[in-house]
């Protein structure tokens, strides 16, 4: 037991999966956690992964979706992004653990003689380490207050060899903490074979049986399916799982994951959880009413009719896997609700994109996002995409690598440096406008080549970047990259018209770029060559900090610019947009210096 820990005070909700992985345990767990946080409780989520990697930093997006980065630089599972967005709460490395971390800490202790000559075993040492981490998280809570409830999501499915010790540790913890301290939730899958045309529960029953064989009786069930699960199927699953029907929830596909908390409330799932872990006496009813009204207003905007529609292209090399860009997807969803516009997303692979076909590939887009990535595959296609957007005044947002290729394209086609590139793609190039700075390691003190986590960005007063952030001249954003704008080229790039509006506070590291905004043509009917309605690049990852109730400013700017550019030629539509409450409210907030 950690010093100061009070058994029975902190409560635990364990979420495990059956049948198959990828069903949405993180979505379900974060929705449960939000319901309890809305009641004024302090919640602390943790994701426990079975793989032996120390973190998610080296994982290919095809294997595990996007790598999510926390403020403290932890590279973790994309589910932590779901928790941060749903809870509007910054997480730390304490909210993420892998089997590799568990074994690494135990073996380090063994080498240091901590176990006093004992043979180190799965029980009690490995399971004990899991319990220690959970109890320490309960003590630290959200960083300000101890946790009333710790939400524990176990990756994979019950029966996997790699997470068996997690299940055993949770069983032990529930036994040690005593009655009304822990609640087990099982997420399962109801199949519906096309050839049969009806839902079948046998796979779900067998999956839950595996959990019961491990000594765990689930108290709440969530049944994933494409459509609402039939009541007779739910009854059958409930009967064979010993779970009352009032605690069996149909987690079928919905228009948005942000509607799930309200659906849970309507079915009384929050009351059931509160009763199971004995927390009714800690509810703040006033806080809950206010939180529900605020969230309900967002959901109403999210699911309500939209007066306008735009199409935004996301051009990257993992375009066929939307989970690779999950945070970008959610950032656009947040903006669409707040700016009253339906955003159609078009996912475009840049691997075979060229100057010859880029116009056809990007036809019909009102805005373009070039996301981050590593390696040379698809880079020339991204550069062609940037050129098309710059020359044809298509609103553009470049993120991380999208920032870097914007610099490369500008150097090639405005400065005339035909072989401009990055040392990531050509280490021997004499015209590398993007490079890995030798002094960066010393400057950032990372002990490695990657800049990770939240860093300060100094923003130029009066710039578009400053306007987007409510007039601020300093912002705090999350980074995950190792290449920078080569300082020797900065002066030439700026002289040609590129504006570096965001910089490192102390050293010559460029962190935001933009092109001058010229909305109207001059007296001769033309515009300066280097001008654009919205051309912004961010070396950081703005998608990581977008929240449903507080959309990320650079995404809001892209969406607003895309709306205005699409309807600029339509006088009636343009006049209507200028009077739209959502647009006016956002513009007013920016001018007054408020956050979005």
In a domain? residue 596: no
Decide which of 251, 271, 297 is a domain's last residue. Answer: 297
Q: How many domains does the chain have?
A: 2
Q: What is the CATH number of the domain that holds 465?
A: 3.40.50.880
Catalytic residue (one of 75, 335, 541, 565): 541
List 400, 424, 504, 565, catalytic entry: 400
Q: Between residues 357 and 567, which one has the greater pLDDT?
A: 357
CATH number at residue 67: 3.40.50.300
Same domain, yes or no: 291 and 318: no
Task: Please tell me the predicted confidence (pLDDT) of residue 596.
Answer: 35
Q: Which residue has the higher pLDDT, 363 or 196?
A: 363
**Whole-number pLDDT of residue 580:** 67
Residue 587 has pLDDT above 80, yes or no: no
Residue 503 pLDDT level (bands cut at 50, 70, 90) = very high
Q: Are residues 285 and 397 in the same domain?
A: no
Q: What is the mean pLDDT of residues 281-301?
A: 96
Q: Answer yes or no: do 96 and 186 share one domain.
A: yes
Residue 44 has pLDDT above 70, yes or no: yes
Q: How far is CA 67 from the centre of its chain?
A: 9
Q: Is the pLDDT of residue 276 over 50?
A: yes
Q: How confident is the model at residue 271, as a pLDDT? A: 94
Task: Please indicate, yes or no, if residue 6 is contained in any of the structural domains.
Answer: no
Q: pLDDT per residue over 120-167, tens digit each?
A: 999 999 999 999 999 999 999 999 999 999 999 999 999 999 999 999
pTM of the model: 0.91
Where would I find the H helices in 282-378? 285-303, 326-338, 358-361
Q: Is 469 among the catalytic positions? A: no
Within-domain flag for 160: yes
Give the rounded percent of residues in the chain with a pLDDT score beyond 70: 91
User: Could you tell me if residue 556 is inside a domain?
Assistant: yes
444 within a domain of the structure (yes/no):
yes
- Does one domain contain both 293 and 346? no
Domain range spanning residue 398?
307-591
Q: Mean pLDDT score of the chain, rounded to an integer?
A: 90
Q: In what order do the strands lie in the sheet with 308-316?
A: 341-349, 308-316, 367-370, 396-399, 535-538, 510-514, 499-503, 451-459, 474-481
Residue 450 — pLDDT band, cuts 50, 70, 90?
confident
As given in the structure block, the two tokens for residue 350 are 């840049």
pLDDT band (50, 70, 90) for residue 588: low
Active site residue 543: yes
| Residues 494 and 519 reside in one and the same domain | yes
In percent, the amount of the chain with pLDDT more than 90 equals 78
- What is the distance between the alpha carbons of residues 266 and 280, in angstroms, rounded to a whole number? 17
32 band by pLDDT with thresholds 50, 70 and 90: very high
Span 442-458, mean pLDDT? 71
Question: In the numeric block, which tokens belong to residue 387?
Answer: 């050129």
Report the distance separating Cα 187 and Cα 15, nearest Å. 7
Domain termination residue (choose one: 279, 297, 315)? 297
Name the more confident of 321 and 501: 501
pLDDT at 54 over 50: yes
Question: What is the per-residue pLDDT for 358?
Answer: 95
Q: What span, in angstroms and rounded, lies between the C-alpha atoms of 309 and 344? A: 7
Q: Residue 578: pLDDT above 70?
A: no
Could you give the CA distance from residue 542 to residue 442 in angstroms, rounded to a whole number? Answer: 25
Average pLDDT over residues 399-409: 96
Q: What is the pLDDT of residue 571?
A: 60
The confidence band for 576, taking pLDDT boundaries of 50, 70 and 90, is low
Condensed to tens digits (0 to 9), the pLDDT of residues 468-481 reads 999 999 999 999 98
For residues 41 and 165, state if they share a domain: yes
Residue 1 forms part of a structural domain: no
Cα 338 from Cα 68, distance rounded (Å): 24
Same domain for 339 and 279:
no
Residue 535 has pLDDT above 90, yes or no: yes
Q: What is the mean pLDDT of residues 339-343?
A: 94
Residue 555 banded pLDDT, cuts 50, 70, 90: very high
Average pLDDT over residues 294-309: 93
User: Percent helix, strand and coil across the chain, each rounded to 5?
Assistant: 40, 20, 40
Q: What is the pLDDT of residue 445?
A: 44
Q: Flag whether 302 is in a domain.
A: no
Containing 323, the helix (H) or strand (E) segment is none
- My answer on whether 60 and 81 are in the same domain is yes
pLDDT at 331 > cutoff 70:
yes
Q: What is the mean pLDDT of residues 13-40?
A: 95
260 and 165 in a single domain? The answer is yes
Find out whether 459 and 473 touch, Cβ atoms under 8 Å.
yes
Phi, psi at 80, each rounded to 5°: -70, -25
Q: How confident is the model at residue 422 (pLDDT cuts 50, 70, 90)?
A: very high
Q: Could you tell me if 250 and 363 lie in one domain?
A: no
pLDDT in tens, 429-441: 889 999 987 655 4
Both 169 and 254 in a single domain? yes
Confidence band, pLDDT 50/70/90 cuts, at residue 448? low
Boundary of a domain, candidates 263, 297, 331: 297
**How confident is residue 529, by pLDDT bands cut at 50, 70 and 90?**
low
541 assigned to active site: yes
Q: Residue 348: inside a domain, yes or no?
A: yes
Whole-angstrom Cα Rg for the chain: 26
520 confidence band (pLDDT: 50, 70, 90): very low
Q: Are residues 289 and 325 in the same domain?
A: no
């Amino acid at each position: 037991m950690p010093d100061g820990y009070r058994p029975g005070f902190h409560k635990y909700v364990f979420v495990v999966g059956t049948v198959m992985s990828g069903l949405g345990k993180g979505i379900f767990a974060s929705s449960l956690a939000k319901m309890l946080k809305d009641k004024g409780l302090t919640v602390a989520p943790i994701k426990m992964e079975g793989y032996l990697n120390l973190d998610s930093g080296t994982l290919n997006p095809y294997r595990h979706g996007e790598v999510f980065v926390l403020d403290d630089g932890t590279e973790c599972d994309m589910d932590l992004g779901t928790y941060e967005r749903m809870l509007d709460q910054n997480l730390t490395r304490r909210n993420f653990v892998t089997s590799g971390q568990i074994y690494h800490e135990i073996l380090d202790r063994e080498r240091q003689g901590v176990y006093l000559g004992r043979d180190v075993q799965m029980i009690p040492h490995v399971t004990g380490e899991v319990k220690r981490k959970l109890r320490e998280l309960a003590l630290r809570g959200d960083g300000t207050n101890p946790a009333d409830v710790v939400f524990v999501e176990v990756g994979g499915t019950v029966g996997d060899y790699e997470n068996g010790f997690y299940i055993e540790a949770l069983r032990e913890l529930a036994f040690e903490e005593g009655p009304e301290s822990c609640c087990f939730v099982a997420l399962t899958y109801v199949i519906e074979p096309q050839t049969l045309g009806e839902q079948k529960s046998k796979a779900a029953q067998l999956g839950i049986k595996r959990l019961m064989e491990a000594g765990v009786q689930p108290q709440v069930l969530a049944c994933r399916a494409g459509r609402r699960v039939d009541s007779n199927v739910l009854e059958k699953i409930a009967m064979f799982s010993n779970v009352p029907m009032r605690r069996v929830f149909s987690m079928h596909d919905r228009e948005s994951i942000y509607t799930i908390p309200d659906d849970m409330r309507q079915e009384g799932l929050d009351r059931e959880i509160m009763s199971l872990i004995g927390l009714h006496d800690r509810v703040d009813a006033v806080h809950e009413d206010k939180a529900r009204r605020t969230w309900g207003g967002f959901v109403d905007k999210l699911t309500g009719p939209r007066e306008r529609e735009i199409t935004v292209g996301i051009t990257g090399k993992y375009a066929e896997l939307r989970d690779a860009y999950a945070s970008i997807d959610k950032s656009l969803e947040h903006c669409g609700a707040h700016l009253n516009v339906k955003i159609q997303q078009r996912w475009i692979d840049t691997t075979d994109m060229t100057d010859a076909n880029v116009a056809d590939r990007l036809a019909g887009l009102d805005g373009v996002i070039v996301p981050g990535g590593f390696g040379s595959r698809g880079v020339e296609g991204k550069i062609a995409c940037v050129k098309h957007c710059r020359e044809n005044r298509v609103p553009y947002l470049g993120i991380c690598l999208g920032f870097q290729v914007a610099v490369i394209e500008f150097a090639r086609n405005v400065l005339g440096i035909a072989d401009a590139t990055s040392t990531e793609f050509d280490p021997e190039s004499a015209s590398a406008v993007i490079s890995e700075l030798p002094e960066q390691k010393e400057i950032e003190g990372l002990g490695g080549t990657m800049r990770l986590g939240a860093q300060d960005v100094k923003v130029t007063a009066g710039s578009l970047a400053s306007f987007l952030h409510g007039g601020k001249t300093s912002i705090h954003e999350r980074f995950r990259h190792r290449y920078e704008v080569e300082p020797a080229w900065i002066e030439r790039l700026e002289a040609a018209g590129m504006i570096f509006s965001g910089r490192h506070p102390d050293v010559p590291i460029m962190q935001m770029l933009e092109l001058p905004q010229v909305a109207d043509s001059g007296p001769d009917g033309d515009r300066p060559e280097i001008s654009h309605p919205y051309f912004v690049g961010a070396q950081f990852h703005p998608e990581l900090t977008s929240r449903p109730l507080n959309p990320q400013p650079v995404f809001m700017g892209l969406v607003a610019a895309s709306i205005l550019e699409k309807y600029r030629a339509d006088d009636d539509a343009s006049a209507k947009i200028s009077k739209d409450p959502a647009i006016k409210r956002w513009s007013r907030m920016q001018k007054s210096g408020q956050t979005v």
